[in-house]
Structure 1
């Protein structure tokens, strides 16, 4: 304990010497920090990556399984173009001509490998032993009304079309463009495909204005990630303006505002330099780092500036004296706040989502630089600027007490009552927090102002689902997919899937086998079943494959040696838990009803995103515990009091419980972005706690105040600074809450709630607990500083 106290005295002396050094050598210090900031900025390089794969670590088992499936068959990155004619009937000559034209043009899409539409659907028929496979509607301009009605009849009976490329009533259809992206540079490849398809659709609209067009698919999803990460980055400009206005209003000093602005800008450009040095590419979650750094960096400057201005206005200290005293009082709290914030953000590396690793690392570096600049650049600038304030004169015996003095006095008089009420409310919120349910649908990553979201919702309501689960079902041997037993079991699995309530469509090889078998028997419906003879099945498959045109083969459904087939289940837009439960149910059916070689696991981007949040939550749990322990140890050392270090855990953890409790009343749904909130806000919350506790302890140690007097003193000296920094944080995260990307906006919204809760808890519960657990202060014979007059204003 004596060692800890000696550490505190040394910290005081160091802060004073540091302040005096910076003031004495203000110009060299300022120039050095400018060189450092712009030196780092010169290394800066910002690139954006919109590929959805960035959300998954290389060791993610779901991603590994999905990549393995795509290697066996074909990659299925796609653009789904949905056409809705205003006459609600796809099957008119004009509409079929338009669809045929757009289908032909879609083949020109960069990296396209396949285009599926109703017009080029491969319809089978047979004459004798000859199998014919033709486009369902080719040269549509030559078709008669009778032929078009026959096309409609065939299409609406075709299981591979209905609820996949054609609505049940024939009013909506889709063209699915499959692209094989090289994967060398998604920042080039994805925009290239997007630009072409957007231009193609625009030209189609001009020529055929009677169609409503909606797009979805993995390429538009990647595009939305890419575009909205850039838009979120542009929130930086708004945040800079807010920082200027907020600081100016709260400090009422133009020089303080300029100094703060330079500190946050230096921190920001240093973080940009970190991007270039590390080669990090920005994604939607990590693109918000400027807003976070700008918001958090302001807090360091505000504490130093407000204390300095208070000393000048209330106690009549000179600018230099006030600046040195402010650094003495705030150096250690600002250091601890910065350190705990860095720890909090670094815990994001324990998670399983790489973009949040990047966000944590970039922000942690930015916050470390913010501490450096706020203890060098800021005091140097304030020493240079001609800062003058008018000292406030307080009449002797005045009873007009300030807001923070009155609040402190009220808390000091009612610690038991306030503690009980606070703990009851916190307990209730903690219970309510358990009502939150996890849901990580990637469509809901975007709000309803985003075209990708509205288009996808339209497609889900009017044509087909965009969520799917895929299975690579093995046959146990090369060529085994023609084994009648395999086909029969695959057919049973397909039938079982179609019976499930969430299933919209099943695309299985067993359907191809049934269709070809029927065609080879004169389209007799009695033969609409899988072949019962292996040689016959193999012969039919060979005839069918030889009849297919280039680009419309079965490579997307059958592997090279015909030992496995790909089964794709399209399901309704269900929540994450339901998606995972459905996949597990299907896997269990295969285990219980098929030979071992047919057992398969469900994979798909949809399923990966569904499992991502749960995996992230499990990974972050360990990180959060470590962060809590480290931050508590740091506070024990900084406060030089083991008991108060333990006590600080309460005001540091309870705001998160309250935040999630209130969120349960608001939305009751959390996503991957919100999983990191505990670790992220833990460091932020400490700012309030450590500044209040440090002032409380100074009052006891330096002035011999009892606990109640120390609480009032803490309110008087740091109350305004805490409110000011909280307002800045609230404003900053309120800007981020305007993001159209739900991972960011939800994270910002709940952070707003937690930060607000933290201030209330630190103003009510924390001082009450400090009073109730305080021991009697020791007499102070020779205080470090002259006891200040309590200013009542």
Structure 2
């Protein structure tokens, strides 16, 4: 007990002396912190990276496999333009002319290396012993109705076109632009490719208003990521306005609102400097750092301000005395909550998604600086500003304190009943939390207000799937793709893929081999099969490749030494778990039915995103456990009580379980962004727990109150501050929940639920636990003369 008293006195003495030091040198402190914030901000350099690759670490095995596939063949960065004529018939002279014009213009796209469309499809036909390879529809303006009818007949029977470039009804078609980015500048997509494509679409629609045009592909997806970052940064302005209004209403003091904003501004400026110093490039997840810091930094200031104003309005202390007393009471709790919040955000580094590493590190640094400014700049400003407490404010404060006293009395009268009821509700919601299904479809990263999402949904419903899985099928030897055995196995794999219920279209070299073999035999349908002779297969392939125009060769399907080919299975909209299962089925089929050189793993950006969430969840588990252990140790040391440190785990963990239980009732699915919520909210939840427990212990140790009286005292002294900070936090994350980027909006929504649950648990379950576990403790008062307000 003496050790506890001594430690408590040391911390109180330090906080008091620190407050006196800051107040005495208020102008110097203000100038030094201003120079610190501006000095850090001068190093700031916010660049945005919208490339989807940023979501994967360099050691990510799926990314390594995908990059390896792209090195063997051409890269997959693309723009898909989907055209729907108003007459629902692609095959008219006017429509084919328009498509042909747009196809020609698409070649001018910056960094374009290939353009595939129905008009320039390389159609093979035989005339005698000669093989002809031509555009399916060239000089469309000169075509007769009979020729157009023939084009339609060919197109709607061509396996490489139907459900890929043209729908079976012939009412929707696509132009696929393959882009080979040099990767020298982050402006290649947002500054060059995207503006060109958008202008090209606008010009086309102006000239041909009868066409509806949608665009999708990896380039528009990267653009959507970039633009989501920009929009989420803009949410900061809305949040600042909400913080001003909320803080002003809750504190009813103009100067406290100004001081809070200055602390927040200094914290954000410091974080911007950290970004520049570390070379971090912002992405959709990390771009919300401003809103995060703004929201969380307010909590530090609110605790100090609310206590100070309470002491002035209720206890009649002078401004300086109230400020010193507030710093004495809140310095250690604010330090603990800042430390635990930093620990929570740093656990994001255990995950497998680099943008969340950046968000965690930026926010952790910002929160560290927020603590510094809250204990220096804030008290210095409050010492400078003229603040007085009126009689009306005093009456209002006493009335509010009375409300929290009533709540405290309600809890202390029936702690056992409240404990049982709380555990029953928490138990039920914990069960529901386990029923959530993990689904990380990357298209659903964007809500339906985003153009990319709208276009992609349209394409999925009217033309083809937007998900795919690719396999690099090796032969084991140079030129081995012409081996009849290889071709037969490849053909069998293509047939197996087409038979799968998830598959919409399969693009495989075996289809090219069958088509060329048929044409080389006078278009005899009996020869629509892979060649039986290796030499013939090699000759046919060579002849076919020599007939292809520049930019429409087979480099996207065949590697340089003709030892491997690429198979692409286009899939329906399926969940991430179903996509992973499909990929594994394909891998198993190859292992069971083909020689070892043909064994391959499924890869693609969509598959990488599907696996990303599961990898993130697995890797974050250890980080969350470590964070919980560290935070529990911090609380044990800070509270000087091993039992209460262990007890604090309950109110720190249960809000997350309750939150995900409620989320099951709301949505039932979780994504990658929600995996980091436990570590992110842990520090926020601890804020409520620490401040309530610290006031409870102060009443026990300093004032000599029993457990029930101490609980009522905690409600009286910290109840308003906890409600105030909770409202500010809810407001901040509610703004973020409006983000069009689902990783951020879902993360914010579940955080709002968890924050509300944390306050309720700390107002009901925590005090019940404190009363029931402290019944037998005997406490010696250090200040027994102080009486509890009735």
What is the CA–CA distance in structure 1 between the aligned matches of 2:574 and 2:711, rounded to whole Å? 52
Corresponding residue number in structure 1 for 2:625: 625
Q: 1:183, CA displacement in angstroms?
A: 1.1
Asked if the contact 1:85–1:210 (Cα under 8 Å) also holds between the matched residues in 2, the reply is yes
Corresponding residue number in structure 2 for 1:163: 163
Map 1:436-447 to 2 at 5 A.
436-447=436-447
Asked if the contact 1:114–1:177 (Cα under 8 Å) also holds between the matched residues in 2, the reply is yes
Is 1:482–2:482 an aligned residue pair? yes
Deviates more, 1:582-591 or 1:125-134: 125-134
Structure 1 residues 400 and 574, CA, compared in 2 at 3 Å: closer, same or farther?
A: closer
Structure 1 residues 699 and 208, CA, compared in 2 at 3 Å: closer, same or farther?
A: same
Asked if the contact 1:407–1:715 (Cα under 8 Å) also holds between the matched residues in 2, the reply is yes
Corresponding residue number in structure 1 for 2:229: 229
Q: 1:76, CA displacement in angstroms?
A: 1.1
What is the CA–CA distance in structure 2 between the aligned matches of 1:244 and 1:400, rounded to whole Å? 21
Corresponding residue number in structure 2 for 1:787: 786
Asked if the contact 2:181–2:188 (Cα under 8 Å) also holds between the matched residues in 1, the reply is no
Corresponding residue number in structure 1 for 2:552: 552
3-state secondary structure, aligned to 1:471: strand
Asked if the contact 2:701–2:782 (Cα under 8 Å) also holds between the matched residues in 1, the reply is no
What is the CA–CA distance in structure 2 between the aligned matches of 1:224 and 1:597, rounded to whole Å? 39
Is 1:417–2:417 an aligned residue pair? yes
Asked if the contact 2:106–2:115 (Cα under 8 Å) also holds between the matched residues in 1, the reply is yes
Corresponding residue number in structure 2 for 1:383: 383
Asked if the contact 1:352–1:616 (Cα under 8 Å) also holds between the matched residues in 2, the reply is yes
What is the CA–CA distance in structure 1 between the aligned matches of 2:239 and 2:73, rounded to whole Å? 47
Q: 1:129, CA displacement in angstroms?
A: 2.8
What is the CA–CA distance in structure 2 between the aligned matches of 1:399 and 1:18, rounded to whole Å? 32
Asked if the contact 1:4–1:637 (Cα under 8 Å) also holds between the matched residues in 2, the reply is no
Corresponding residue number in structure 1 for 2:738: 738
Asked if the contact 1:426–1:654 (Cα under 8 Å) also holds between the matched residues in 2, the reply is yes
Structure 1 residues 400 and 43, CA, compared in 2 at 3 Å: closer, same or farther?
A: closer
Q: 1:401, CA displacement in angstroms?
A: 7.5
What is the CA–CA distance in structure 2 between the aligned matches of 1:675 and 1:5, rounded to whole Å? 41
Asked if the contact 1:16–1:327 (Cα under 8 Å) also holds between the matched residues in 2, the reply is yes
Structure 2 gap segments, 5+ residues each = none
Q: 1:245, CA displacement in angstroms?
A: 0.7
Map 1:653-664 to 2 at 5 A.
653-664=653-664
Q: After superposition, give the CA deviation of every residue in 1:660-681 in whole Å (9 maximum; x if it has no partner).
A: 0000010000000000000000
Structure 1 residues 113 and 663, CA, compared in 2 at 3 Å: closer, same or farther?
A: same
Question: Which TM-score applies when normalising by structure 2?
Answer: 0.98
Map 1:218-257 to 2 at 5 A.
218-257=218-257
3-state secondary structure, aligned to 1:255: helix
Asked if the contact 1:8–1:638 (Cα under 8 Å) also holds between the matched residues in 2, the reply is no
What is the CA–CA distance in structure 2 between the aligned matches of 1:705 and 1:420, rounded to whole Å? 25
Q: 1:640, CA displacement in angstroms?
A: 0.7
Asked if the contact 1:700–1:777 (Cα under 8 Å) also holds between the matched residues in 2, the reply is no
Corresponding residue number in structure 2 for 1:647: 647
3-state secondary structure, aligned to 2:281: coil
Is 1:109–2:109 an aligned residue pair? yes
Is 1:145–2:154 an aligned residue pair? no
Corresponding residue number in structure 1 for 2:56: 56
What is the CA–CA distance in structure 1 between the aligned matches of 2:124 and 2:4, rounded to whole Å? 85
What is the CA–CA distance in structure 2 between the aligned matches of 1:781 and 1:476, rounded to whole Å? 83
Structure 1 residues 694 and 590, CA, compared in 2 at 3 Å: closer, same or farther?
A: same
Corresponding residue number in structure 2 for 1:506: 506
Q: CA RMSD in A?
A: 1.4
Q: 1:189, CA displacement in angstroms?
A: 3.6
What is the CA–CA distance in structure 2 between the aligned matches of 1:495 and 1:788, rounded to whole Å? 85
Corresponding residue number in structure 1 for 2:67: 67
What is the CA–CA distance in structure 2 between the aligned matches of 1:42 and 1:148, rounded to whole Å? 64
Map 1:122-133 to 2 at 5 A.
122-133=122-133
Corresponding residue number in structure 2 for 1:588: 588
What is the CA–CA distance in structure 1 between the aligned matches of 2:675 and 2:45, rounded to whole Å? 29
Deviates more, 1:443-452 or 1:189-198: 189-198
Q: 1:789, CA displacement in angstroms?
A: 5.6
What is the CA–CA distance in structure 2 between the aligned matches of 1:549 and 1:779, rounded to whole Å? 91
Aligned length, in residue pairs: 788
Corresponding residue number in structure 2 for 1:674: 674
3-state secondary structure, aligned to 1:115: strand
Corresponding residue number in structure 2 for 1:765: 765
Q: 1:131, CA displacement in angstroms?
A: 1.1
Map 1:351-370 to 2 at 5 A.
351-370=351-370
Corresponding residue number in structure 2 for 1:330: 330
Asked if the contact 2:705–2:781 (Cα under 8 Å) also holds between the matched residues in 1, the reply is no
Deviates more, 1:382-391 or 1:31-40: 382-391
3-state secondary structure, aligned to 1:186: coil
Corresponding residue number in structure 1 for 2:213: 213
Asked if the contact 2:703–2:781 (Cα under 8 Å) also holds between the matched residues in 1, the reply is no
Corresponding residue number in structure 1 for 2:204: 204
Asked if the contact 1:77–1:218 (Cα under 8 Å) also holds between the matched residues in 2, the reply is yes
What is the CA–CA distance in structure 1 between the aligned matches of 2:603 and 2:191, rounded to whole Å? 26
Q: 1:128, CA displacement in angstroms?
A: 2.9
Corresponding residue number in structure 2 for 1:711: 711
What is the CA–CA distance in structure 1 between the aligned matches of 2:323 and 2:295, rounded to whole Å? 23
What is the CA–CA distance in structure 2 between the aligned matches of 1:789 and 1:364, rounded to whole Å? 39
Q: After superposition, give the CA deviation of every residue in 1:548-585 in whole Å (9 maximum; x if it has no partner).
A: 00000000100000000000110001110000000000
Corresponding residue number in structure 2 for 1:453: 453
3-state secondary structure, aligned to 1:754: helix
3-state secondary structure, aligned to 1:476: coil
Q: 1:400, CA displacement in angstroms?
A: 11
Is 1:727–2:724 an aligned residue pair? no
Corresponding residue number in structure 2 for 1:308: 308
Deviates more, 1:398-407 or 1:24-33: 398-407
Structure 1 residues 475 and 189, CA, compared in 2 at 3 Å: closer, same or farther?
A: same
Structure 1 gap segments, 5+ residues each = none
Q: After superposition, give the CA deviation of every residue in 1:89-137 in whole Å (9 maximum; x if it has no partner).
A: 0000000000000000000000000000000000001223321100000
Structure 1 residues 5 and 513, CA, compared in 2 at 3 Å: closer, same or farther?
A: farther
Asked if the contact 1:429–1:657 (Cα under 8 Å) also holds between the matched residues in 2, the reply is yes
Q: 1:391, CA displacement in angstroms?
A: 5.0
Deviates more, 1:508-517 or 1:120-129: 120-129
Q: 1:153, CA displacement in angstroms?
A: 0.4
Q: After superposition, give the CA deviation of every residue in 1:445-477 in whole Å (9 maximum; x if it has no partner).
A: 000000100100000000001110000000111
Q: After superposition, give the CA deviation of every residue in 1:360-412 in whole Å (9 maximum; x if it has no partner).
A: 000000000000000000000001111100257999xx999811000000100
Question: Which TM-score applies when normalising by structure 1?
Answer: 0.98
3-state secondary structure, aligned to 1:577: helix
3-state secondary structure, aligned to 1:234: helix
Asked if the contact 1:260–1:298 (Cα under 8 Å) also holds between the matched residues in 2, the reply is yes
Map 1:276-291 to 2 at 5 A.
276-291=276-291
What is the CA–CA distance in structure 1 between the aligned matches of 2:496 and 2:732, rounded to whole Å? 52
Q: 1:776, CA displacement in angstroms?
A: 4.5
3-state secondary structure, aligned to 1:132: strand
3-state secondary structure, aligned to 2:255: helix
What is the CA–CA distance in structure 2 between the aligned matches of 1:271 and 1:622, rounded to whole Å? 27
Is 1:693–2:693 an aligned residue pair? yes
Structure 1 residues 2 and 56, CA, compared in 2 at 3 Å: closer, same or farther?
A: farther
